[in-house]
């Protein structure tokens, strides 16, 4: 579409307005209001159903094989060498839309293949346009952390170099001179953190006027880290006629608002339930209740003894001090490296390289690396300290079980300190089809978050009307159909805390709300619903009479 303007000033203003004004035709809300796309064939419908895939915005049919995508031979050879036999779910559906030059929102769990999901269409564009790398990059990818940026560059070199595509990674903590020199020698792709890219823009050392393919990887994380001002400055330097792609593990309101401003008529691809936090089902989750540092260390060594020798294992701690302490302890026995915020970039890169090669099979890290490490060979994750929130738990364990591989995650929980996370943890595990350990189920049923002895009837399972309930409550629910068919009045039953079994006389599903009817008093006698109120009024009346008699 060609637009005519009468002056250069108007042209600049119009260009700027197209970057930040609401698109004339549609936005992500309008796309969802139109409803989910209808599958083009029975095969596509089956593919969407099997993979819990939702598509909005009129995307082309998915590529169910690499051959359907008609990728260049060098990329096909690199894919075969990497051991991939078919595209991942997010790749299958996002490649057709991206190759059709559509703006794209891809929401999928970590380790689902999002990186190749945006790199491969970008490579195809670069090959088709035959752009001059000396005039600046054509593909710009923004990532929240240096670790993630470096990992994207590794994938870019693996699949892009066979096509002659050159890339540069820009991030803080490393000398600017080397990064600038690499860009001046010519590059097709720039991968970087918003802070470092913005530094280069402010000093006039990088030009983005040729960027036609802009990618936000883990956009939710970038906003969480406060990069929105830098992102806006960068976008103002990119031509408005660009193609924009958002790839993220979650889809919160902040990211939606950013997409509303920066994207035009996007295709939205959702794998799984984007409105809830989900863990990868390929990861087997184990939770161990521990009491004190000594028991933690014993449990840690037992886990290492159960793993095969040389298994790539990532251990997470909450503090740098604990990471260093574990590093010294495990370094003497197993061979480990440590990365955290106080380590310089050279140390981090050396430790990560040793971990990937297997020279040091154990790496200890703080949350600084939780979403930036992508090592396919990582078979196990150990949460030595429970994270500060359940979102970080999902991101930590997501470092294993990547690209369709199997993994296991071990988490240490303190009954007193970490009990407040038990219910949220149980919900994550139930949705991932994981077995709930007895002590964790018991902690989830206690408001105080403390530990008490457990019996197998308190293991949690999904409630038919939503939430979770204990096995004992499920057995009782089978004899009370109304409690299953509609929300019940018993709060304990609904929350999965009910331990009364046949002794429970609550009226489930009652419209009168008479939850306390026919309860037993202390001597086993039946009492009326108003018994407690009657006793309180009687005691209050007696106190008033005694007060008057003394006067």
- DSSP assignment of 198-238 equals HHHHHTT----TT--EEEEETHHHHHHTT-HHHHHHHHHTS
Residue 360: which pLDDT band, with cuts at 50, 70 and 90? very high
Tens of pLDDT, residues 61-72: 999 999 999 999
Residues of the chain with CATH 3.40.50.300: 8-271, 283-454
Structure token pair of residue 453: 């002895």
Cα torsion through 299, 300, 302, 308, rounded to 10: 150
- Rounded CA separation 76/116 (Å): 12
Tens of pLDDT, residues 267-306: 999 987 766 777 888 899 999 999 888 899 999 999 999 9
Q: Give phi and psi for 190, each to the nearest 5.
A: -120, 125
3-class DSSP state of 333: helix
- Burial class of residue 404, CB neighbours in 10 A (0-12, 13-18, 19+): middle
DSSP state at residue 435 = P
E strand spans, 108-197: 139-142, 167-170, 189-192
Query: Half-sphere exposure of residue 376, counting CA atoms within 13 Å on the CB side?
Result: 10
Residue 482: which pLDDT band, with cuts at 50, 70 and 90? very low
DSSP state at residue 240 = T
- Rounded CA separation 453/455 (Å): 7
- Residue 98 has a pLDDT of 95
Domain 8-271 has CATH 3.40.50.300: yes
- Residue 435 has a pLDDT of 84
Tens of pLDDT, residues 382-439: 999 999 888 889 888 988 988 778 999 999 998 888 888 888 898 888 888 888 888 8
Task: Find the mean pLDDT for residues 227-249.
Answer: 91
Nearest to 259 by CA among 536, 4, 31: 31
**Number of residues that make up the chain:** 551
Task: Find the mean pLDDT for residues 502-511.
Answer: 42
Residue 32: which pLDDT band, with cuts at 50, 70 and 90? low
Residue 224: which pLDDT band, with cuts at 50, 70 and 90? confident
Element (DSSP H or E) covering residue 107: strand 104-107
- Residue 346 has a pLDDT of 84
- Residue 214 has a pLDDT of 96
Cα angle: 319, vertex 325, 328; to 5 degrees: 140
Residue 77: which pLDDT band, with cuts at 50, 70 and 90? very high
The CATH superfamily holding the domain 283-454 is P-loop containing nucleotide triphosphate hydrolases (3.40.50.300)
Nearest to 342 by CA among 329, 324, 326: 324
Residue 232 has pLDDT above 80, yes or no: yes
Nearest to 75 by CA among 88, 66, 65: 66
Tens of pLDDT, residues 88-112: 999 999 999 999 999 999 988 777 8
Which residues are 245's β-sheet partners? Answer: 104, 215
- Rounded CA separation 401/109 (Å): 11
């Amino acid at each position: 579409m060609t637009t005519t303007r009468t002056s250069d000033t108007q042209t600049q203003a119009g260009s700027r307005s197209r970057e930040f004004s609401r698109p004339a035709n549609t936005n992500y809300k309008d796309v969802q209001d139109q409803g989910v796309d209808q599958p083009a064939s029975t095969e596509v419908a089956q593919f969407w159903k099997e993979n819990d895939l939702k598509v909005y915005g009129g995307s082309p049919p998915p590529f169910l094989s690499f051959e359907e995508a008609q990728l260049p031979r060098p990329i096909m050879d690199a894919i075969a060498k990497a051991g991939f036999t078919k595209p991942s779910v997010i790749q299958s559906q996002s490649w057709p839309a991206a190759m059709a030059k559509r703006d794209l929102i891809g929401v999928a769990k970590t380790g689902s293949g999002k990186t190749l999901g945006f790199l491969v269409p970008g490579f195809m564009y670069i090959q088709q346009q035959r752009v001059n790398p000396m005039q600046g990059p054509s593909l710009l990818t923004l990532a929240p952390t240096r670790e993630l940026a470096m990992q994207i560059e590794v994938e870019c070199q693996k699949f892009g170099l066979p096509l002659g595509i050159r890339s540069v990674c820009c991030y803080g903590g490393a000398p600017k001179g080397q990064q600038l020199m690499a860009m001046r020698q010519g590059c097709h792709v720039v991968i970087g953190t918003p802070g470092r890219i913005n530094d280069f823009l402010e000093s006039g050392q990088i030009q983005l006027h040729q960027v036609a393919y802009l990618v936000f990887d883990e956009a939710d994380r970038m906003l969480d880290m406060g990069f929105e001002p830098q992102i806006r400055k960068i976008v103002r330097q990119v031509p408005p006629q660009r193609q924009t792609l958002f790839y993220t593990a979650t889809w919160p309101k902040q990211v939606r608002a950013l997409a509303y401003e920066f994207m035009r008529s996007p295709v939205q691809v959702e794998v799984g339930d984007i409105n809830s936090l989900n863990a990868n089902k390929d990861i087997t989750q184990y939770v161990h209740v521990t009491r004190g540092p000594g028991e933690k260390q014993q449990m840690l060594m037992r886990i290492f003894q159960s793993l095969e020798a040389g298994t790539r294992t990532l251990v997470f701690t909450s503090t740098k001090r604990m990471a260093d302490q574990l590093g010294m302890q495990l370094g003497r026995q197993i061979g480990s490296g440590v990365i955290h915020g106080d380590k310089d970039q050279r140390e981090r890169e050396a430790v990560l390289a040793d971990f990937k090669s297997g020279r040091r099979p154990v790496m200890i890290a703080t949350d600084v690396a939780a979403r930036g490490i992508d090592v396919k060979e990582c078979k196990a994750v150990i949460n030595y300290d429970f994270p500060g929130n359940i979102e970080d738990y999902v991101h930590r364990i997501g470092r294993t079980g990547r690209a369709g591989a199997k993994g296991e995650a071990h988490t240490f929980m303190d009954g007193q300190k970490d009990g407040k996370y038990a219910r949220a943890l149980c919900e994550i595990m139930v949705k991932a089809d994981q077995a709930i350990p007895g002590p964790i189920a018991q902690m989830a049923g206690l408001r105080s978050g403390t530990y008490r002895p457990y019996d197998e009837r308190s293991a949690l399972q999904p409630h038919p009307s939503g939430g979770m309930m204990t096995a004992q409550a499920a057995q009782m629910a089978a004899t009370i159909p109304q409690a299953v068919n509609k929300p019940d009045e018993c709060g304990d039953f609904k929350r999965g805390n009910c331990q009364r079994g046949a002794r429970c006389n609550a009226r489930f599903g009652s419209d009168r709300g008479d939850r306390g009817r026919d309860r037993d008093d202390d001597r086993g006698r039946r009492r009326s619903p108003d018994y407690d109120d009657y006793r309180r009024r009687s005691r209050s009346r007696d106190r008033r009479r005694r007060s008057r008699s003394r006067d």
